Amino acid sequence: MTTTTVTVGLGSCGIAAGAGKTYEKIKAMKETEKLDFILKKTSCIGMCYREPLVEIRDDTGTYLYGDVNEGRAIEVIEKHINQKDPIRDYIVYTDLFDAPENNFIESQVKIVLRNCGYMDPESIEEYEEREGYKAIAKIAVGKIARTEVIQTVLDSGIRGRGGGGFPTGLKWKFANANKSEEKYVICNADEGDPGAFMDRSVLEGDPHSVLEGMIIAAYAIEANQGVIYCRAEYPLAIKRLNIALKQAREKGYLGKNIAGIEGFDFDIYIKEGAGAFVCGEETALIASVEGERGMPRKRPPFPAASGLWKKPTNINNVETFANIPWIILNGAAAFAAYGTEKSKGTKVFALAGKVNHSGLVEVPMGMTIRDVIFKLGGGIKKDKKFKAVQMGGPSGGCIPEYLSDTIVDYDSVNATGAIMGSGGMVVMDETTCMVDVAKFFLDFTRKESCGKCTFCRMGTMRMLEILERITDGKGAEGDLEKLEELAYQIKDNSLCGLGQTAPNPVLTTIKYFRDEYEAHIFHKKCPAKVCRPLLTYTVDAEKCTGCMVCLKNCPVKAITGERKQVHFINQDICTKCGACFTKCKFDSIVLS
């Protein structure tokens, strides 16, 4: 009987990189050549920068191959499977020797991502083999009281991973205290920032852990109905959730008398959302589930007292629920052993931007931002200078390089002016214009505002207009003061978290990169050379060969000159399109 298993990563990132074709090629080779190995599917393991990924487990060990396109797949199967000769140059991780990405895997502590990439997400049996549904079984067999479950969650110190960081156990305690024949548990899987990539990956890679977390929450607060609010743009996540729900019902983990607990009846359905960022706010989400427009409501009453259909409701996000089975199974102390005094456990981050290793990482609270970027992220692309990191999604803040030794925990990150959010971490280098970054994120939150609050609806628009003037070279003295005044008015007078945090990118970039704003306003220059209206293209006479390539590619004929003679750019005509700079082969076009 074969002991060799070949597993292909088929998360959304892998499929986008061509993993589907890789899987089909390996499948065809197996069938045609009657090869003796088990072929399996899994999801993303976080190493998105190396997709497509193929893992081979045999009697000698585990080998993870990266960048496996169809051609490389043929080579890997031929050499590793047929000739028993692993291709060392293609291996990115192994437990047998030092491979390029060993540090990426071994520097992480995986609780939320414990199963992602290690099992078939469409197999409940494989989830059970990895201690799946043992947490709810532990509650049933031990006849653990609801209050004891809540106390365990409280003692673990886990805080909501959706952004606000409110103690999860306290939320459950409030919902448990409000008595009603109808109660609801909602999983928010629709957050619209980079952390939503994490939510999607967990749902695609380990849907049963989220279901089990919701089941435990339902038991704790005596809920009888669950809702997973998931954006419709995540078709693979929804597909795998539906498969998981069907399997869980068939095995008695959903339905009547769950896990043999008399009277514990609970089921879950999926509500597909439209991807509105404002629905990350729980009362707006509830309105959307009820069929209304996703707009926040005044609190109190809080959802724990009056939520979905005005019944007691508990809302947590995907990452929070995925932690719960592990906490119940391993105990509060085991979870609290990771992290800092006020931020326990681990945190999943979606690394993006100017970083070498983009993807998902899970680290213990207390690791520095610098270590996340350089140890796990592999540093900055093309060896550029690290400038800043934007944390907390579109309404997060920008943390400069000199504060990158800040540790990852709620209070420390908040102290910088950024927020933890649901785990977005966008890395920026010296070529990034911080004014342009602030404009980009503010434009997003302005568009996503539901419009209910005047300060959010109109204030973000006015702030954006000022930023656009500044990046167009029309900034004026007093603009920074106007931006700050508007920002604090919006923060103080908006009803929900979207408006209260929308100005963060602007406030933090003004705080830490004020000199860039002043260069734009007073000197009409963009230090990062990003804002086109502030750029000037000239010809370096010593380097120009008169090849006429720039002249021929200028769309407005702003460049003049004879062949083999130094060319000239007429600044009155130049539209600053950059075509000459891009096309020049002799670096003779100077950008200033």
Topology of domain 536-591 in CATH is Alpha-Beta Plaits (3.30.70)
DSSP structural state of residue 44: -
Domain ranges of the chain: 5-106, 124-335, 346-429, 434-522, 536-591
Structure confidence at residue 194 (pLDDT):
46
Note the pLDDT of residue 504: 95
Check: CB of residue 297 under 8 Å from CB of residue 287. yes
Domain 434-522 sits in CATH 3.40.50.920: no
Which string of DSSP letters, residue by residue, matches 357-414?
Answer: S-EEEEEETT-BHHHIIIIIS-SBGGGPPEEEEEESGGGSEEEEGGGTT-BSSHHHHH
CA 557/CA 297 separation, integer angstroms: 57
For tokens 């920074």, name the residue: 480
Predicted confidence at residue 162, as pLDDT, reads: 80
Q: What is the pTM of this model?
A: 0.93
Query: What is 5-106's CATH number, 3.40.190.10, 3.30.465.10, 3.40.30.10, 3.40.50.2300?
Result: 3.40.30.10
Measure CA of the first residue to CA of the last residue in the chain; give whole Å.
68
Q: How far apart are CA 398 and CA 230, in angstroms?
A: 28
**Three-state DSSP state, 349:** strand
CB 168 within 8 A of CB 327: no
| Phi, psi at 296, each rounded to 5° | -70, 155
Per-residue model confidence as pLDDT tens for the chain (592 residues) = 558 999 999 999 999 999 999 999 999 999 999 999 999 999 988 999 999 999 999 999 999 999 999 999 999 999 999 999 999 999 999 999 999 999 999 999 999 999 999 999 999 999 999 999 999 999 999 999 999 999 999 999 999 988 778 999 999 999 999 999 999 999 998 765 545 677 889 999 999 999 999 999 999 999 999 999 998 888 999 999 999 999 999 999 999 999 999 999 999 999 998 878 888 889 999 999 999 998 999 989 999 999 999 999 999 999 999 999 999 999 999 999 999 999 999 999 999 999 999 999 999 999 999 999 999 999 999 999 999 999 988 888 999 999 999 999 999 999 999 998 878 899 999 999 999 999 999 999 999 888 999 999 999 999 999 999 999 999 999 999 999 999 999 999 999 888 899 999 999 999 999 999 999 999 999 999 999 899 999 989 889 998 999 888 999 999 888 999 999 989 999 998 889 988 999 989 888 8
**According to the model, what pLDDT value does residue 196 have?**
64
Question: Which CATH number applies to 124-335: 1.10.3720.10, 3.40.50.1390, 3.40.50.11540, 3.40.50.2000?
Answer: 3.40.50.11540
Q: Which CATH number fits domain 346-429: 3.40.50.1100, 3.40.50.80, 3.40.50.2300, 3.10.20.600?
A: 3.10.20.600
